[in-house]
Amino acid sequence: MAGKPNTNFQAAIGALVVVFGLGSWFAYSAWQGHGKALADLRRADVTVGGLLRGAPVEGAADPVALTEANVTAAKNDLAALQARQVALRNAIAGEADNQIVSKFGGIANELGTQIQESVSRWRRDAAAKDVKLPKDEICFGFRRYVRNVGTQPQRLYTEVDRQRLIIGWLFNTLLESRASGSPLFLQSIDREPIETFPQVSGPAGDSQVFTLDTPSAEVLSVKPQSDEFILSGHTYRRPGLVGSLAFQVRFVGRTDTLRAFVNLIQNSGRPVVISSIQVASPSAEALRELFAAPASLTPAGAVPGAIPALAFGGIADAPVAPGTPADKPKAERLPVVRDGAAEFIVRIEYLFPVAEAPAPADANNATAPAK
């Protein structure tokens, strides 16, 4: 028994060895952590020292330092920039009373019905005021919905309804621009579709139910209608800053109608701009639509380079030369350009500030309710 190892003693020695090993490991880890903390502290001291000493800035005599005065000035500059941004956004949006805002809160079927009712009302108003419309019924930018009974916008209901309201305002403004008795042939009011093309359409399969007589969603989504266009060329849109809803009004009439139309838009106070105005000689078919007696007026293009609806008189009161009989008749006032009609395409953009992207949610507050 004397030579038999003492089990308890050996176990105690083993435990001491384990404790010593653990203690050494913890001590080493603490030493490493202390060294890392010292290194981080030194780096922070260097950074803070650099900020306090200042950094050289091109054009500044002294380095820009992180002093209390500079911090206060930076805060003031930031507040001024934010206030300027708000002022610019308000300037783009215009006065609240002049904004055209949709309050539509229904479903797609209801919006489709409203569109069809609006188109029918505009047609009646045009006929009541003797405004000529195409034989192929005008749809005011909504041909895909009016011609295909049962269809309705697939998405962006509020924005599409806002387009409907803007088109109604443009239509009424054009009618108001027409002088009494002046001929007016409204060919179309076109819109840029925002709800149906692939680049802005909803997820695959997210479409409404179509009737048998209605083209498929794929056809409607890729085939623009005759009263739709994609805005190109000059635009007032600025990505991330300014957005717009684009329209173009196509009509045949006299220049005074165009002039009044442009002035009414300009003085309306609404956030709209005119991107371009195109002028061309109307076709013979357009003139037949415009005038009951086409010969009563001559197209503006009858004189190359002439401006329609303008006339210049002769020299009626020229001084009489010596030796000229006193009873010589005065020169007759003759128009250089006959009072005629032209075809106009007025492209208009309704501007609005682009909503700022929401700040990324904090992971700890991702599920917090919005305030």
Domain locations in the chain as residue ranges: 16-90, 99-301+335-354
Highest mean pLDDT among 56-60, 114-118, 191-195, 362-366: 114-118
How confident is the prediction for the chain on average, in pLDDT? 76
pLDDT of residue 301: 43
pLDDT of residue 55: 67
Model confidence at 189, pLDDT cuts 50, 70, 90, reads very high
Which tokens is 265 given?
């838009």
Closest CA to 262 of 272, 252, 159, 158: 272
What is the residue type of 269?
G
Asked if pLDDT for residue 89 goes beyond 70, the answer is yes
What is the arithmetic mean of pLDDT over 315-327?
A: 47
Asked if pLDDT for residue 337 goes beyond 60, the answer is no
Closest CA to 112 of 187, 169, 196: 196
3-state DSSP call for residue 346?
A: strand
Question: Which of 153-157, 194-198, 257-261, 351-355 is least confident?
Answer: 194-198
Model confidence at 237, pLDDT cuts 50, 70, 90, reads confident
Report the alpha-carbon distance of residue 251 to residue 339 in Å, rounded.
17
pLDDT of residue 261: 97
Model confidence at 133, pLDDT cuts 50, 70, 90, reads very high
Asked if pLDDT for residue 54 goes beyond 80, the answer is no
What is the arithmetic mean of pLDDT over 5-11?
A: 70
Residues in CB range of 290: below 8 A, 6 or more apart:
132, 183, 184, 185, 252, 253, 282, 341
Q: Which stretch of DSSP H or E encloses residue 255?
A: helix 255-266
Report the alpha-carbon distance of residue 183 to residue 365 in Å, rounded.
64
Integer-rounded Cα radius of gyration of the chain: 38
Task: Decide which of 1.10.1040.10, 3.30.70.60, 3.20.20.100, 2.60.120.650 is the CATH code for 99-301+335-354.
Answer: 3.30.70.60
Which tokens is 216 given?
């498929």
pLDDT of residue 12: 72
Report the alpha-carbon distance of residue 122 to residue 74 in Å, rounded.
55
Report the alpha-carbon distance of residue 260 to residue 270 in Å, rounded.
16
